Amino acid sequence: MAGSSFFALFDDIATLLDDISVMSKVAVKKTASVLTDDLAVNAEKVVELKADRELPVVWAVCKGSLVNKAILIPLALGLNYLAPALVHWLLVIGGIYLCYEGIESLIEKLTAHGRQDDARKLKTFTEVEAKVYEAKKVKGAIVTDFILSAEIVVITLNVVAEAPFVQQLTTLVLISLLVTFGVYGLVAGIVRLDDLGLRLRKMTKPGHFATALRRIGGWLILAAPKLMKLLSWVGTIAMFFVGGAFIAEAIHDGPEWIVKPAIKHWLESYFMQAAVGMIAGVIAVGVVQPLCRQVRNRRAIDQ
């Protein structure tokens, strides 16, 4: 009797794991585009750091990402049960923030002031200034990760919405761990490409194979800075795709007497969603920056 109960329990556990595995595969497929954006955005966040601080910063952001998901998973499960509509609108607010940050990043990249500031960051920071700048980078990356993680958690939750609670929770935790260590592992690899190139370039073994590896090392050394610069731009643009998708979905779900079918069809395009994100970012910057200037002016007067 006890033996049969044990095997029945084992069978239940095997069935549960099989269900979780199937749902996890579906969730990974559905979050694939977000993971690509997540990788680009987070790689962009470690650009302009000293080489010896890149990996510590990636690790710091990775730990922050784990904390984000530890907050988001119970929050999403609770809100999905108590007020599912609220989850949707919180994502829209997060999308607007991403678009706002994207426009600010574009302004910095495209202006002479931004380029001069970048040069100063790289060359003339004191040790104290470098620590402050690094802390700011980490904080900004963790805030951005919170929004991207929220989308991943919500997409996964939609996949497992009809499953029992234990399967929902287990799948969410599994996907969160895979995503976090997968994305930040790749980011760590990308930022250290130049080190790999240098090691290959310094190989002293004779032979055609070693010669080929030294040549590859030279290419990696040349390509690494260009790749990081490219990822900086890709990460900025990805903010509009991710944030714009949130906003476009909210508009798409509006009543037909406000949002015409033609507009809804237009909003289904991935590039049109990015355009919506850019427009939302411009509006957000136009509203927020004057308010920030007023606050700074008032503080200056009070002091």
Does the pLDDT of residue 195 top 60, yes or no? Answer: yes
Q: Taking residues 26-34, what's their average pLDDT? A: 52
Give the model's pLDDT for residue 7: 36
Using the structure block, give the residue that is written with the tokens 């969410």. Answer: 172
Whether the CB-CB separation of 69 and 176 falls below 8 Å is answered with: yes
Q: Taking residues 34-42, what's their average pLDDT? A: 62
Q: Taking residues 242-267, what's their average pLDDT? A: 79
Distances (CA, A) of 134 to 46, 232, 242: 9, 16, 25
Does the pLDDT of residue 76 top 70, yes or no? Answer: yes
Give the model's pLDDT for residue 215: 82
Give the model's pLDDT for residue 68: 92
Q: Alpha helix locations (H) across 111-206?
A: 112-123, 127-159, 165-191, 193-201
Q: Would you say the pTM of this structure is higher than 0.85?
A: no
Residue percentage of the chain with pLDDT more than 70: 76
Give the model's pLDDT for residue 134: 80
Give the model's pLDDT for residue 278: 93
Round the average pLDDT of the chain to a whole number and report it: 75
Question: Helix (H, G, I), strand (E, B), or coil: what is residue 292?
Answer: helix
Q: Taking residues 188-209, what's their average pLDDT? A: 76
Using the structure block, give the residue that is written with the tokens 């609770």. Answer: 78
Whether the CB-CB separation of 68 and 147 falls below 8 Å is answered with: no
- C-alpha to C-alpha distance for 180 and 191, rounded to whole angstroms: 17
Cβ neighbours of residue 219 closer than 8 Å, sequence gap 6 or more: 197
- C-alpha to C-alpha distance for 181 and 173, rounded to whole angstroms: 12
Q: Taking residues 11-32, what's their average pLDDT? A: 49
Whether the CB-CB separation of 217 and 198 falls below 8 Å is answered with: yes
